[in-house]
Amino acid sequence: MDLDSRTTSPIDFDALDSSIGTLREDFDDAVPFPHVVIDGLLRPEALQAALTAFEAVGQSGWTKYLHVNERKFAHTDTSSWPSALEQIALELQSPRFMEFLSRLSGIDGLRPDPSLDGGGLHRSGRDGFLNIHADFTTHHVKRDWVRRLNLILYLNREWEEAWGGALELWPPDMRRCERAVLPAANRALIFRTTEDSFHGHPEPTACPPDVYRQSLALYYFTQEDETRRLSTNYQPRPGDGLKAVTIIADREALRLYDSLKRRLRFSDSTASAWLGRLHRLKNRFR
């Protein structure tokens, strides 16, 4: 069922407020970079509505990210989402939630991004993966917006540990994974976004063919006079061997793509559509 936004928030803010002291300590003390895991962010009825709504999102509107360093799909057109998902996204950008994030992180002046640049609904199926990386540092359109926080809310009806897909958190020296966060239903991960907050789920998932790893991702920014624009920085892990060569080569190609995207002001969805047409054309002449 849909949650009635006129009467009830999908988020239990009273519970967040009562635990802010502990959450702030966990965030500050976390290794390898400030982060916190919050289980049960959504009220139970809101979670059930969101899970049903995610399954109702149509096949169109998904941007494909299919290359050496990732295999996933993203959807940022909130106007086409079922209302339960749209309401949750709006609540995670509300003034009250922004106040909570500032209290949690100690960062003043946080602002949400209604365009969901790099965020939105994320979905990957069997063999999906995302190599270890640090996120791009500034908004692609609002160039004085610096990315400060990342929120990932997992929306899977079921997820078994044996399927993999845990989000790994790595230190700047990339010596070892410091923490792995399983994408359990209604689990939120909030972490500080910096030039070296490395994370990802690099091993292909082993979920059944009809099961998907699903999440809602949002990024939060501050407006700054001076910015350092860096594109997504993929990193090989110790033991990746020859795979490291392809990770780095793809990273450099993506840096060029990111630079062109900023200069020409086209979106990932536009690039995805053109790549899809080229793929269909190539298959036609095989």
Q: What is the pLDDT of residue 272?
A: 52
Q: Output the pLDDT for position 270.
A: 56
Q: Tell me, what's the pLDDT at 255?
A: 84
Domain extents for the chain? Answer: 13-284
Q: The whole model's pTM is what? A: 0.89
Q: Are 197 and 179 in contact (CB under 8 A)?
A: no
Report residue 257 as tokens: 């793509």
pLDDT of residue 118: 93
CATH entry, 13-284, from 3.10.129.10, 2.60.40.10, 2.60.120.620, 2.40.10.10: 2.60.120.620
The CA–CA distances, whole Å, from 43 to 49, 190, 211 equal 10, 18, 23
Q: What are phi and psi of 263, to 5 degrees?
A: -75, -40
- CB atoms near residue 189 (< 10 Å): 22
CA distance linking residue 68 with residue 16, whole number of Å? 39
Task: Give the pLDDT score at 49.
Answer: 98
For residues 191 and 42, give the distance between their C-alpha atoms in angstroms, rounded to a whole number.
18
Q: Sort 64 into a burial class: Cβ within 10 Å, 0-12 / 13-18 / 19+.
A: middle
Give the chain's residues under pLDDT 50.
1-6, 274-286
Instruction: Kindly give the residue spans of alpha helices, DSSP state H, lying in 92-230.
Output: 95-105
The predicted pLDDT at position 4 comes to 46
Q: What is the pLDDT of residue 259?
A: 72
- Residue 222 is classified by DSSP as E
pLDDT (0 to 100) of residue 265: 63
Q: How far apart are CA 42 and CA 23, in angstroms?
A: 16
pLDDT at 271: 53
Q: What share of the chain is helix, strand, coil (3-state, %, to 5)?
A: 35, 25, 40
Task: Return the pLDDT at 264.
Answer: 66
CA distance 75 to 120: 6
Q: How many percent of the chain have pLDDT more than 70?
A: 88
Q: Which residues lie closer than 8 Å to 232 by C-beta, 6 or more apart?
A: 133, 134, 135, 136, 251, 254, 258
